[in-house]
A and B are shown apart, each in its own frame.
Chain A
Amino acid sequence: MQRRQFLKTGLVAAGGAALGTGAAEALPIADAGPAPTATLALTPDGDLVVASAPRGKTIPTSEAVRRGVPGRRWVMVIDLAACDGCGKCSQACTKSHFIPADREYLRVFKMQDSSETSPYWFPRPCFHCDNPPCTRVCPVGATFKRQDGIVLIDNERCIGCRFCMAACPYSVRVFNWGRPSNAPEAEARGYSPEWGYPRRVGTAEKCDFCADMAKDGHLPHCVAKCPMEAMWFGDENEDAVTSSKGTTMRLSKLLRDRAGFRFMEELGTKPRVYYLPPDKRHSAAPGEPGAVHAETTQHEGGPR
């Protein structure tokens, strides 16, 4: 629960706008190490302080929620070569979002493109598209896209028409068909579109990129719990993504070296989730001299 609490800098309550840099985390340099406990935060005067005081529940204003974190463009990279389909990402997501048993925000599919090609695991969160078909069709603006790229749902405005579910080509969205029984913890925290609970009957929901976590400089639950370093999360405006082990890579280099792609680019939805193909590239990409494959990541488990 520690992770979900807010920094007591007063900035979050002020609308979340000022906390621009997302509070740099004091990660140990280089390779794997224990997860950090102390957190660096920026005060309004620009001083770095160690924030470890207990943090209360603060619900951001709806204006701040609809705007998002200024200057940020959250992005996710999923390494299909590293994913072994263990499903820890989905379990972590389900646990932290109190998701009922009939649905998953992040679903791991076992894909096989043709009978001759190798199968691979395909974790599918919400793609938080830059041209989101779901958001286009919403009649009431209950689902909206923010400056930081995240597509969220306001369950207190949603009318339950389910047009967004029909419009999403990736079957990401799920629905509260019945009256939800919310966990006491979920009730205690209070509702915000940034975390989507306590749930409301008759409204749509989906993966929220852990908007509340990213704002505070924490990786989304799925990324943080991936034992294979198959999931990476970061800010496109910083050209960096970080894995569960704290490894940080340049996004552009990773996508270039590993031939990153977006799922079904032809649909024109411009997802904010990139995939790295389920193989190791040893040949040069078009327009590049020689082999470029660097020691990017260590792949232990290949596709199964």
Chain B
Amino acid sequence: MTAMPLQVEPDLLATLEPLGRPGRRWIALLLAVCAAALIAWVYQLRFGLEVTAMRNYVSWGVYMTNFVFFIGISHAGTLISAILRVTDAGWRRPITRMAEAITVFALLVGASMVMIDMGRPDRLFNVIIHGRMQSPILWDLVSVTTYLTGSFLYLYVAMIPDMPILAKAARARGRSPRLVRLYEILSLGYRESPEHRRRLGRALGAMAVIIIPVAISVHTVVSWVFGMTLRPGWHSTIFGPYFVIGAIFSGTAAIITAMALFRRGYHLEAYLLPDHFRKLAKLLLALSLLYGYFTLSEYLTTWYGGMETDRRLLELLAGQTGFGASFWLWALFGLGVPIALLLFPGRRSLTSIVTASVLINIGMWWKRYLIVVPTLETPFISPGAADITPSYFPSLVEITITAGAFAAFLLLFTLFSRIFPILSIWETEEDALEAHATAAPTAPVPESRILPASLAVIVAIGLGALLPLASARAQTSKPAVTVGLKRTMEDKQEMLVATVMADGKPVTGATVLFSVQRSFGTLMLGEDQTLDDGTAAVAFPAGMPSGVKGDPMFRAVVRAPDAVAGTEVTMTFPGAMAVRPWTAEAPAALWSSRPPLAIVATIVTLLLIVWSTYGFVVAQLVELSHLTRKG
């Protein structure tokens, strides 16, 4: 690493000095955009999602795109900071703070996009009251919450050693006492001592390790919101890793872009060296090649297979019409040009690296859009078969809110950098002094801090009263004529026998129609002529399913001759096939109200591991603050 100036502290503290006119204008601009987005959101709350361009076919749009995009760039923090910290890469030090801050702010903005996308944000708490563990949205909720908590904790733990420095400097410069107090509280009484260092090192090491799987899980379950559906273009086995790689890819590009902005804005040329950019550029190159590889795998196999709906989707996505031009523009400027800019070490100038990063950021937003929208325009039953052409172009409200999302992200970032130095003072000093931290991160020891996941438990449904028994009631239209109905065995076969009598004497040669009553009509069983004893018969439909009791209502009607026609009898006989009713409890299927045990067990186990690690980290911080009080 190139030697760094030794006056790290004053240089980095200088970034907290009051802003000049350009800085104030920048904040005013961001505030204005955020205010416009807020108005747009209130408007949307007032009139419903009708004010967006989303409709019944394209039911997700730019809000969902923003959600995936921001969750994606949140991976910057994890990758740069955690992976480099775990592997003890020294050059990470001036970058970590910025990366961790990106994670927190991108997550906040990304999560709020989901709420803006909801038709009923007022019912948000239903997700907790009625939450179903089988739904990928619940997985999202749980993992994003876990990730956000972890990222906050991680960002904060790495900031603790800076707090005493900040408090001292703020006091010296006569800043507001409240600010000084804030720094003091956040410092937890930290001071440079081996014991303090050891505690901090443990906390930081544990966080750096656990945050990596959490981050991977987050973007995996985000992809599963799409991957778990049966839609062409979404139902893909590689969607998890594809999204994770895409996230780290766009996150790395985001951090390079942020570095370039802060380098210029705060004159940090002495700390954010071209070498930092070049090292990240190598990583970015590797990731862009990986992303290209995943994209090829995803679409080439789909295209080669050539299934009908896939073909229609690819036609829309990359064909001559529809999204085709923009897809290939993305492939060229979002992937091809950045690779070309980053490929040759000799040509990796700062300008080309930053250009590549900006192109990747824009391209990845568009790529997310191309994942969300074209699939929704290509359902299995072609809407064209009902003369409908689904189309989508974001409305003014959606565009304003999207602009507001970006503005809010930049604003949070800017305000953060007004209060806390955007480069970690203590880590950068370490770098400058080439002094390696003595305390090596130790493996996390899970504490018995159990945070049980609250699970939706389903009310048992009791089976209702049994079906009332249908009783028979003979109806006679002509008093002289009667029809009797019975069930007998004839030649080892069960028969339904009707007996037609006129004035007490059997009627011969009358046509009798046999039927069985069903819910919505009468099902014919057959017809027969009466013999000289006045009986007509059809086979008893023993194998016919007839409800849970198997006792259908039969009917016999005399059709001919005219003298006796119209006489009928209805009667209920047991003996038909009884169907087994569904039990009151639904099975523990994916669709049922009860979640399958395996899903619950997996989620609870994972949460226990992660949250007990958080508990361990918090315990270290508590210990740390006690140390000072004792001393």
Contact = CB atoms under 8 A, between A and B. Distances in A.
Asked if A pairs with B, the answer is yes
B390 to A, nearest CB: 9
Contact of B557 (A29, A110, A138): A29
Q: Which of B129, B376, B381 has the most CB of A within 10 A?
A: B381
A122 interface: yes
A203 to B, nearest CB: 6
B519 A24 contact: yes
B127 interface: yes
Contacts of A144: 593
Contacts of B464: 15-18, 20, 64, 67, 70
Contacts of A21: 467-468, 470, 519, 547
Interface residue tally on B, bucketed by range: 35 or more
B231 A166 contact: yes
Interface in A117-133: 122, 124, 131-133
A157 B123 contact: yes
Interface string A82-105: 000000000000000000001100
Interface string B136-161: 11100100000000000000000000
A246 B521 CA distance: 6
A228 B247 CA distance: 55
Interface stretch (B182-190, B271-279, B317-325, B577-585): B577-585
B567 interface: no
A233 B520 contact: yes
Interface string B436-474: 000000000000000000001001010111111111010
A246 B591 CA distance: 35
Given A44-B468, A147-B582, A140 B132 contact: yes
B553 A166 contact: no
Contacts of A201: 48, 119-120
B520 A29 contact: no
A204 B60 CA distance: 13
Contacts of B601: none
B463 A139 contact: no
A177 B50 contact: yes
Contacts of B120: 158-160, 201-203
B56 interface: yes
A150 interface: no
A136 B135 contact: yes
B548 interface: yes
Interface string A227-261: 00000011111111111001111100000000000
A163 interface: yes
Contact of B522 (A67, A165, A248): A248
A288 to B, nearest CB: 18
A46 B471 contact: yes
Nearest to B525: A250
Interface string B555-596: 101000000000010000000000101101010011111000
Interface string A149-189: 00000000111111101110111011111110000000000
A250 B136 contact: no
B249 to A, nearest CB: 25
Given A103-B56, A157-B126, A177-B49, A238 B119 contact: no
B127 A159 contact: yes
Given A42-B468, A135-B591, A136-B591, A145 B520 contact: no
Contact of A138 (B59, B118, B132): B132
B171 interface: no
Given A71-B467, A176-B48, A163 B225 contact: yes
Contact of A18 (B126, B382, B468, B513): B468
Contacts, number: 287
A209 to B, nearest CB: 13
A174 B581 contact: no
A277 interface: no
A139 B132 contact: yes
Contacts of A18: 464-465, 468
Given A140-B127, A165-B56, A177-B48, A29 B465 contact: no
A238 B520 CA distance: 10
A70 B518 CA distance: 16
B469 A46 contact: yes
Contact of B579 (A71, A107, A165): A71
Contacts of B329: none
B392 to A, nearest CB: 13
B47 interface: yes
Contact of B118 (A136, A160, A234): A160
B517 interface: yes
Contacts of B489: none
A14 B568 CA distance: 33
B336 to A, nearest CB: 31
B600 interface: no
Contact of A109 (B123, B136, B381, B593): B381
B396 interface: no
Contact of A141 (B52, B523, B582, B593): B593
Contacts of B521: 25, 27, 234, 240, 242-243, 246-248
Nearest to A121: B385
A71 B547 contact: yes
Contacts of A116: none
A304 B188 CA distance: 79
Contact of B386 (A109, A131, A214, A237): A109
Nearest to A124: B381
B267 interface: no
A267 interface: yes
Nearest to B226: A166
Contacts of B229: 133, 137, 166-167, 169
A139 B136 CA distance: 8
Contact of A163 (B121, B135, B230): B135
A174 B591 CA distance: 20
Given A124-B381, A246-B521, A250-B523, A70 B136 contact: no
B241 interface: no
A132 B126 contact: no
Contact of B555 (A20, A29, A142): A29
A141 B130 CA distance: 7
B266 interface: no
A83 to B, nearest CB: 14
A205 to B, nearest CB: 10
A267 B521 CA distance: 33
Contacts of B456: 141
A29 B567 CA distance: 12
Contacts of B509: none
B137 A139 contact: yes
B131 interface: yes
A276 interface: no
B470 A234 contact: no
Given A140-B126, A141-B593, A110 B228 contact: no
Interface string B216-238: 00000000011011110010000
A178 B48 contact: yes
Nearest to B117: A161
B515 interface: yes
Q: Which of A109, A124, A269 has the most CB of B within 10 A?
A: A109
Given A30-B524, A139-B131, A234 B473 contact: no
B492 to A, nearest CB: 24
A167 B118 CA distance: 16
Contacts of B136: 137, 163
Given A42-B470, A132-B591, A157 B130 contact: yes
Contacts of A250: 523, 544
User: Can you list the 5 inter-chain pairs with the closest CB atoms, starting with the nearest?
Assistant: A160-B119, A17-B464, A202-B119, A178-B50, A248-B521
5 contacts: A71-B581, A147-B586, A158-B120, A166-B60, A246-B522
Given A139-B131, A166-B234, 10 more contacts: A29-B557, A70-B548, A137-B137, A139-B127, A140-B131, A145-B586, A202-B48, A217-B519, A219-B520, A237-B546
